[in-house]
Structure 1
Amino acid sequence: MIDRPVRIGLQLQPQHMDYPTIRRTAAEAEEAGVDVLFNWDHFYPLSGEPDGLHFECWTMLAAWAESTSRVEIGALVSCNSYRNPELLADMARTVDHISEGRLILGIGSGWFERDYTEYGYEFGTAGGRLDDLAEALPRIESRWGKLNPPPTRKIPVLIGGGGEKKTLRLVAKHADIWHSFATGEALEHKLTVLGEHCAAIGRDRDEIEVSVVAKPDTREAARELGARMFTVHVGGPKPDLGELREWLTWRDDVNK
């Protein structure tokens, strides 16, 4: 097994707060020692007032690339449906350069129907959206090889989701990081399935970093199963980093 340190992420949900608050919270999280700073790729809030304050994902990531200096940054996750794959590859390459090599390309097939209908995208079916993601990932990888200048590094790809027939097969083939909402026996089972998909293509499952939602009551079990990134979720209107600081203390203890 690859010996990885525990890392802590923060998903700073860009809802119900103005941008100065988002910028200030991102700076506070970096100063506190967070490893990865995520936002999300939606057009409307996912909780609270449905038409509340909200900001777009990738323009924000470019701003974070300039306003931070150490943390890795990315979306948890970017929706494949909203952008041409070649364009997304170029956007990711550009933010990679702005950040001097700190971008993670988080990507998924999409699920929030309001985003699609309000912005004129075809919602389709879950299976169809996953098929589109399967087609997009090789195109993204191919475009990275054609861009001038190329990315500063092999941009890590994070794939979110737990579907065992399609999503985990894509994780095995394309991902450097797999993000899951599963816990306990469900997480253990999905890791077994992921291992089977990896074995089928001759890949070592341990090459893939396992990322989970930060839940104090399941963190030790998740770490025993191999999870190494734990992500705290914070939104507006008054983001509180108290929980994040507790997780950073735990990280430092287990990484000694």
Structure 2
Amino acid sequence: MRFGTFLPQGWRFDLVGIDPAEQWPTMRGLAQKADAGPWESLWVYDHFHTTPVPSEEATHEAWTLMSAFGASTERIRLGQMCTCMGYRNPAYLAKVAATVDHVSAGRIEMGIGGGWYEHEWRAYGYGFPDVPDRLRMLREGVDIMKQAWTTGTATLDGRYY
């Protein structure tokens, strides 16, 4: 059996009461403790706003954190639960994930899904497609990312991408 841990990033109000200037040092310190301990992986959520209700509290972005954790840890695997396909163009996301994987010396775990948090979709101007469309977007996006990672290029004349 393998064990991972989620780190605070603000999404679940888990940084409330920590001075903003201390939030990154706190997250980095926890990542380094997890790296030195028995954990196999550390995880963050791919969300932009707090839940169950949006607030003014900080929620730090998952892929930026993955890169920072990759540069400040040595062993532990790094993942996001789970990246929303609709928040980033899949060719761009493939590049981001490959770069973070490079920074971390191959320690990225790629979690990907169709997305569900309507407030975030609408807040960033992405609309909010119905579930079948979000899942079709996910399928096309995964095809693009797989092509990009295996061949270095991606070609798809899809419905969404």
Q: Could you tell me the TM-score, scaled by structure 2's length?
A: 0.83
- In the TM superposition, residue 50 of structure 1 has moved relative to its aligned partner by 2.8
Q: Could you tell me which residue of structure 2 aligns to residue 102 of structure 1?
A: 107
Q: Could you tell me which residue of structure 2 aligns to residue 8 of structure 1?
A: 3
Distance in 1 between residues matched to 2:49 and 2:83, nearest whole Å: 14
Q: Could you tell me which residue of structure 2 aligns to residue 87 of structure 1?
A: 92
Distance 1:48 1:121, change over 3 A: closer
Structure 2 residue corresponding to 1:139, chosen from 118, 125, 144:
144
Q: Could you tell me which residue of structure 2 aligns to residue 56 of structure 1?
A: 61
Question: Structure 1: which amino acid aligns with 2:34?
Answer: A
1:111 and 2:106 aligned: no
Higher relative contact order, structure no. (Cα contacts within 8 Å, ≥ 6 residues apart): 1
Contact 1:35–1:72 (Cα < 8 Å) also in 2: yes
Distance in 2 between residues matched to 1:13 and 1:142, nearest whole Å: 33
Q: Could you tell me which residue of structure 1 aligns to residue 44 of structure 2?
A: 39
Distance in 2 between residues matched to 1:133 and 1:53, nearest whole Å: 27
Distance 1:96 1:132, change over 3 A: same
Structure 2 gap segments, 5+ residues each: 16-22, 154-161
Q: Larger Rg: 1 or 2?
A: 1
Distance in 1 between residues matched to 2:54 and 2:32, nearest whole Å: 26
Contact 1:11–1:76 (Cα < 8 Å) also in 2: no
Contact 2:77–2:109 (Cα < 8 Å) also in 1: yes
Runs of 4+ aligned residues of structure 1 deviating over 2 Å after TM superposition are 47-51, 145-148
- In the TM superposition, residue 147 of structure 1 has moved relative to its aligned partner by 3.2
- In the TM superposition, residue 122 of structure 1 has moved relative to its aligned partner by 1.6
How does 1:208-219 map onto structure 2 within 5 Å? none
Secondary structure at the aligned position of 2:110 is classed as: strand
Distance 1:49 1:128, change over 3 A: closer
Q: Could you tell me the TM-score, scaled by structure 1's length?
A: 0.53
- In the TM superposition, residue 53 of structure 1 has moved relative to its aligned partner by 1.9
Contact 1:37–1:72 (Cα < 8 Å) also in 2: yes
| Identity across the alignment (%) | 35
Q: Could you tell me which residue of structure 2 aligns to residue 241 of structure 1?
A: none
Question: Structure 2: which amino acid aligns with 1:103?
Answer: I
Higher share of residues assigned strand = 1
- In the TM superposition, residue 51 of structure 1 has moved relative to its aligned partner by 2.5
1:74 and 2:69 aligned: no
Structure 1 gap segments, 5+ residues each: 1-5, 149-256
Tell me the matched-pair count.
Answer: 143
Contact 1:78–1:107 (Cα < 8 Å) also in 2: yes
Distance 1:125 1:87, change over 3 A: same
Question: Structure 2: which amino acid aligns with 1:145?
Answer: T
Distance in 1 between residues matched to 2:111 and 2:2, nearest whole Å: 16
- In the TM superposition, residue 144 of structure 1 has moved relative to its aligned partner by 0.9
Question: Structure 1: which amino acid aligns with 2:128?
Answer: F
